[in-house]
Amino acid sequence: MSHSKSPTGTCQVCGNTFPSRELIAEPLIRTNILNTIRADHPDWSPTSRICQKDLARYRGQYVHSLLVSEKGELSELEHEVLNSLQTHQTLAADIDSDYEEQWNLGQRLADRIATFGGSWTFLICFSVFIVIWIMMNSLVLYWRPVDPFPFILLNLLLSCLAAIQAPVIMMSQNRQEAKDRLRARNDYQVNLKAELEIRQLHEKIDHLLSHQWERMIEIQEVQLDLLNELRRPR
C-alpha cells in the first residue's frame, strides 16, 4: 500500500479538486451555514465536502444575514467591518492624531485657551491679578484711584472675560465630543470584528483538530503496514 501521494477530494460547491486536508467535512460546519449550503445545492449529502474558499463565502453570507436579522438593514460601519473581514484589513486607528491633523488655527487656539482656562495656573494668576487690582485702587491710588470701590471696572472686565471664555470652552467641548464619537465608532467596529473573528477562529480550530485526527489515522495506517510487512514470512 502506497501513501506517498496525498488523497484528494472534490468540492461539492465549485466542483474543483483539492487535497483532502483543504476540504471541510459536514460535521465541522455550523448547522445554520450548512442549511444555506443545502438550500443552494440540493445534491449535498452527509459525505460531501466543501473547500475553504466557498465555506468562507457562506460564512460571510451567514454573518451578513445574522446582523440583518438582529438590527435590520446593515449600517455603513457594519459593511466596513464585513469588508475588512474579507480583505483581512485592520480597523484600529489613532483617532487623536488623525483628528488633530484636521484642525485649523482657530480650533487649536480655542483648545489651548480652554486648557489654560481650566488649569490651576489660570486660577492662581487670576486671583493674583484681582488682589493686585484691589490693592492698587485701595491703597496705592487712594486719592485718585482708576477704579474706586466697588470696583465697577473690575466687574466689567470679569463679565467680559466670562462672556468670551464660555463660547471658547463650548467650542473646545464640541470638538472633544466629535473626537469621542469617532473613538466610539472605531471601538464598535473593532469589537464587532473581534467577535466575528473569534467565531471564525473556533471553526478553524475545529478544522485543525479534524486534520490532526486524519494525520494520526494516516500514521497509524502506515504503522500497520509496517507491522504487516514485519510479520510476513521471509
pLDDT tens-digit profile of 147-182? 888 888 889 998 998 888 888 888 888 878 877 888
Q: Taking residues 34-54, what's their average pLDDT?
A: 85
Q: Domain-by-domain residue ranges, the chain?
A: 1-61, 95-187
pLDDT tens-digit profile of 63-91? 767 666 655 445 665 666 666 666 656 65
Report pLDDT for 56.
Answer: 79
Report pLDDT for 125.
Answer: 92
Concatenate the DSSP letters of all residues of the chain into one string. ---SSPPEEEBTTT--EEEGGGEEEGGGS-HHHHHHHHHH-TT--TT-EEEHHHHHHHHHHHHHHHHHHHHSSPPHHHHHHHHHHHHT------HHHHHHTT--HHHHHHHHHHHHHTSHHHHHHHHHHHHHHHHIIIIITSSS-SS-TTTHHHHHHHHHHHHHHHHHHHHHHHHHHHHHHHHHHHHHHHHHHHHHHHHHHHHHHHHHHHHHHHHHHHHHHHHHHHHHHHHS--
pLDDT exceeds 80 at position 133: yes
Q: Taking residues 1-16, what's their average pLDDT?
A: 72
Look over the chain and give the mean of its residue pLDDT values, rounded to a whole number: 76
Write down the pTM of the prediction. 0.42
pLDDT interval class at 4 (50, 70, 90): very low
